[in-house]
A and B are shown apart, each in its own frame.
Chain A
Amino acid sequence: MTGCRVSLLACALLAWTSLVASGNEPSRQVTLTPAEASRFLAQATLGASWDEIHRTAAIGYEAWLDEQFERPVGHHQPYLDELALRGVELEADHRRWSWWGEVMRGPDPLRQRIALALSELFVVSDELGEIRNNPQGLANYYDMLLDNAFGNYRDLLLDVTLHPVMGVYLSHLGNEKSNPAIGRFPDENYAREIMQLFSIGLFRLRPDGSFVLDGRGQPIPTYDNDDITEMAKIFTGLSFDGPAREFRGGQPVWTAPMRMYDEYHEPGPKQLLRGRFVPAGQTGMQDIHDAIDNLFEHPNVGPFVARRLIQRLVTSNPSPAYLERVSAAFADNGAGRRGEMRAVIRAVLLDPEAREWPESGQIAHGMLRESFLRRVHLARAFDAASPALLYPISDSGAPTDFAQRPLSSPTVFNFFLPDHQPSGPIADAGLVAPEFQIITAVTAISSANALQSQVERGMNRDANDALEVRLDLSGEIAIATDVRALLDRLDLLLMHGSMSAPMRRVLIEALQQLDDPEERARMAVHLVSISPEYCVVR
């Protein structure tokens, strides 16, 4: 631990000297311990291999991030397009195969990690039949998240708003202007959720994420229902951009943004938030741009987005100071631009609160690993592959086993709420732990069983052996005769060297009873994957 602090200090010193010596040129030559690199990659990726950990240790955080920002995008739709061209009738599972393919083999681990986080913020779900039945559309939505992951939050908000998959999910596709004669009003669904879930939240926030309170000590709502009914008018007139340009009943086009049909858009001026309004006589698309600007400029967005990204990547309960630093990066990327995701991601991952090694006295730092992400982590850490190098993994059991599967959330509120408090010591301490919401007496066990299957039998069953995806434990099996060496390796690979001595003692005692190296290695991986110390990323 001391070593880490020293090296961080060294890092800061180097950065400082390089600033003084050569202007604004940050240092590129900071080496890390493998444990530090492993911990960083546990936050910044969906899992890292032994080689990637050591490579990152050699180049340092900054260089790794810079490199990731420039990597090509591992899009998910092309694989589906290719299948469709070959005459395959596309099903929901094909998109999952593509998801696994890019997550495992894509060039852009950071981008894939951020896109998954964004998919839990801008939630759409193939639990809805219309989305399930259009896997290209859903892959296109995911690619839109990937494309915007290192872009600007305002573009992200606009692209999400205009995507037909979101239009179907939150029912603003085909939403019409009011018609008092037949008692019809604009659908309020998207207007409500874009504010509550995608941008500003329910209550006014300070830059450090805390509630602004009124005279009675109560949080102050950011909007009321009149604001919703006004905002609902903005999101009218959008529908598929089909060849025939029909608002109603036109041919669905799932892979292009929705089109504005002005004749179905609510005319007249509309009230926005914070005293702004859109004037009468604008086109529908101008209204939408104005509304997106109005939300994007709201002071809540920085702290709102900061908390959600920090919770997904680093810790459930960031300090106000950490939140404020990330909010500041959202407000200004250092070059005067607001909402730049690269600056936000840097701020989240390079903050001292993310990087400093937690002291043993910090009994609440970090987060519970997302249930399903343990499965992904094992796959990536042990380079899961099929002989055909394809990933026909359908995860059909995951919604039951893990209560989670990417893009299959039960509601727009994601698999878990950002302020979930499990009863017991976490709630008693006034803390939140979102991921615990899906760890129940059923799923704590069913996920453990599923991980055992994954380690022992692979990630799918297929009549064709060449398509069965299995973990590669050869590196572990090779050293398994030496239990301590085996545990050292797993400790670095999966737990960034944080395994406690008591945990190690329990594992040594158990594993020594198994003679077969393969059996020993598999048992070791499974036990680590369900252990309390592994399940909490600190």
Chain B
Amino acid sequence: MNDDRKAPDAPQVTRRRFLGQASCAAVGTTALFNTVLNMGMLNALACDTPNYKGLVCLFLSGGIDSFNVLVPRGPDEYAEYAGARADLALPQDTLLPIVPATPDGREYGLHPGLPELQALFQQGRLALVSNVGTLVEPTTLEQYRNRSVALPLGLFSHADQVMHWQTSLPDQRTAVGWAGRMADILQAGNCNQNISMNISLSGSNVFQSGQLTAHYTIGPNGSQGLRNYGGPSLVSQVRTEAIDGLLGLHYQHLFEKTYAARMRGAIDAHLVFSEAIEALPPLITQFSDNSLSQRFRMIALTIAAREALGMRRQTFFIDTGGWDHHDEVLLNQAAMLPVISRALGEFQAALEELGVADQVTTFTASDFGRTLSSNGRGSDHAWGGNHMVLGGAVNGGDLYGSYPPLYLGSPLDTNRGRLIPTTSVDELFAELALWFGVPAADLELVLPNVARFYAPGSADPPLGFLNIGGGGAGLVRDRGDRGAAARRRGGRSGRALERERGRRTAR
């Protein structure tokens, strides 16, 4: 590791530098899209991004017990799993079988509440990434025990691990997320600077907060309008005029300034956003009547309106909580996972309907994994966990990373089955970022720690679960070339992995 690594806001890139210099004022305001709109300077850069791509983060907050999501199913490995999980083990014959394209000698199944995801896996739309988590640097059990390695700040704490999953900077406490940093680089490629590239369906989040760009929040029914704003009655006119007047005043106090900008931005963006959404034909795909499915429906509609909204790149964020199952993990997951599975199935169907399935990738994230061992019907905060990546560009039907041994006291077990991640979130996110269109040369602006795990200029993709091609990415990978990925996966365990990491970190 080199300690003089450039800071995320260091002016390294042409466009980035341009933005940085042009918008000194913008740095001081809440929303890039308000200020940039008035500059007119970015027209030369706008709309230079060729084809649409959307990236959706489904954050399962609370820390999902994901070793009951992706479960070893063959006799030996199931026995190992059941031994560690005790009363938390799912019955073997209830698991939904999946057959990864790359055999690793084990059989796997999904939680019985995930039939849509099982189907998507078999159709090659869904990939699973095993034992991924926040790491400051590659970490072994010995290093963990001697404290000879830097650990994520606030490891095992909800708020901190949520933050680190969203910033990919577990050695820092920063409010700037990696999608925010992507937007700082890519926002200007959108044709419309009125609405942020980053759209949240779950309110404020760190993931989509940039140095320069704020996210735009909508709800399951779209954007929120101020009642009777701009309406014809005298009372409405008076109110509209007064609100415009109040929000147009010059505020010195930072909180007043921020509040005014947030409200002004919300009013303006709603006018553009609601018009674009209202003009759409209805979706044929039906979404379930719950908040999660309805939020995915709203994302599908927003993507459908991409031309009217002038969007070439968008990220979306959904936070769906309640996964902190210290108690009754089996009952709760049995109730909650089907909701996730259905919503993702509906969303993918809607994307197929819209003809953008290959252009939208959805991934799951969560605070952390949970202990393999039981506290009596529940599990406690842990570290590495399993995650899903869904979409037409996904090299699906396979597992990535390295599925860990599950017996207690394994070489990854810090205690109680709290597993050290074998894949860093930096690797997971690097793959997503490169696919999304972050140039390889800019990868370290988005993921400042990534070189500790993956060489940004490498000819190989970080993990191989996405078909990274076109879109300005530094990599072009043949979708059919699964052999290389499989070879890498094969090597990503045990000592080979450590050797590989040793090489990387010795740079």
> Which residues of A are at the interface with B, using a C-beta cutoff of 8 A?
170-171, 174-176, 182-189, 192, 196, 202, 218-219, 221, 225-226, 228-229, 232, 316, 360, 362-368, 400, 403, 410-413, 417, 419-429, 431, 433, 436-446, 448-449, 452, 500, 502-503, 506-507, 509-511, 513-514, 519, 523, 526-527, 530-533, 535-536, 538
Measured between alpha carbons, how far is A519 from B376 in the docked complex, in Å? 61
Partner of A185, one of B251, B257, B267, B373: B373
Residue of B nearest to A522 (CB): B235
> Which residues of B are at the interface with A, using a C-beta cutoff of 8 A?
27-31, 61-62, 83-87, 153-160, 173, 175-176, 180, 200, 203-204, 209-211, 213-214, 216-219, 223-227, 234-235, 237-239, 241-243, 245-247, 249-263, 265-267, 269-270, 321, 324, 326-327, 371, 373-376, 378, 380-381, 408, 414-416, 418
Name the A residues within 8 Å of B257 (CB-CB): 425, 532
**15 CB-based A-B contacts, threshold 8 Å:** A182-B86, A183-B86, A188-B381, A218-B153, A225-B155, A411-B61, A417-B159, A424-B29, A427-B175, A429-B254, A436-B259, A506-B249, A513-B237, A532-B251, A533-B251
Quick check: A188 and B254 within 8 Å, CB to CB? no
Separation in Å of the B79 CB from the closest CB of chain A?
13
Quick check: B28 and A428 within 8 Å, CB to CB? yes
Q: Which 6 A-B pairs have the closest CB atoms?
A: A510-B242, A506-B245, A424-B30, A440-B217, A441-B266, A187-B375
Measured between alpha carbons, how far is A362 from B243 in the docked complex, in Å? 25
Separation in Å of the B185 CB from the closest CB of chain A?
15
Residue of B nearest to A435 (CB): B255
Q: A192-B157, A229-B416, A422-B30 are in contact. Are A513 and B253 (CB under 8 A)?
A: no
Separation in Å of the B390 CB from the closest CB of chain A?
25
Residue of B nearest to A211 (CB): B173
Residue of B nearest to A202 (CB): B154
Quick check: B415 and A183 within 8 Å, CB to CB? no
Separation in Å of the B430 CB from the closest CB of chain A?
23
15 more CB-based (< 8 A) A-B contacts, given A202-B157, A423-B214, A527-B239: A187-B327, A188-B326, A360-B252, A362-B253, A422-B204, A423-B213, A424-B31, A425-B257, A427-B175, A427-B176, A510-B239, A513-B238, A532-B249, A533-B251, A535-B259
Partner of A437, one of B62, B204, B259: B204
Measured between alpha carbons, how far is A425 from B34 in the docked complex, in Å? 14
Measured between alpha carbons, how far is A419 from B415 in the docked complex, in Å? 31
Q: A184-B376, A429-B254, A442-B219 are in contact. Are A421 and B214 (CB under 8 A)?
A: no
Separation in Å of the B497 CB from the closest CB of chain A?
24
Task: Kindly name the residue among A228, A367, A426, A532 whose own CB sees the greatest number of chain B CB atoms within 10 A.
Answer: A532
Quick check: B235 and A196 within 8 Å, CB to CB? no
Measured between alpha carbons, how far is A443 from B209 in the docked complex, in Å? 17
Separation in Å of the B67 CB from the closest CB of chain A?
14
Partner of A440, one of B204, B249, B380: B204
Name the A residues within 8 Å of B415 (CB-CB): 225-226, 229
Quick check: B376 and A507 within 8 Å, CB to CB? no
Measured between alpha carbons, how far is A469 from B32 in the docked complex, in Å? 42
Residue of A nearest to B214 (CB): A423
Quick check: A423 and B30 within 8 Å, CB to CB? yes
Separation in Å of the B82 CB from the closest CB of chain A?
10
Quick check: A445 and B243 within 8 Å, CB to CB? no
Quick check: B258 and A436 within 8 Å, CB to CB? yes
Name the A residues within 8 Å of B84 (CB-CB): 183
Quick check: B203 and A444 within 8 Å, CB to CB? no
Q: A411-B61, A440-B203, A445-B226 are in contact. Are A228 and B251 (CB under 8 A)?
A: no
Measured between alpha carbons, how far is A366 from B251 in the docked complex, in Å? 15
Quick check: B255 and A536 within 8 Å, CB to CB? yes
Measured between alpha carbons, how far is A368 from B263 in the docked complex, in Å? 14
Name the B residues within 8 Å of A427 (CB-CB): 175-176, 209
Measured between alpha carbons, how far is A413 from B214 in the docked complex, in Å? 23
Q: A442-B218, A532-B260 are in contact. Are A502 and B375 (CB under 8 A)?
A: no
Quick check: B326 and A171 within 8 Å, CB to CB? yes
Q: A184-B374, A420-B204 are in contact. Are A441 and B216 (CB under 8 A)?
A: yes
Name the B residues within 8 Å of A429 (CB-CB): 254
Quick check: A441 and B269 within 8 Å, CB to CB? yes
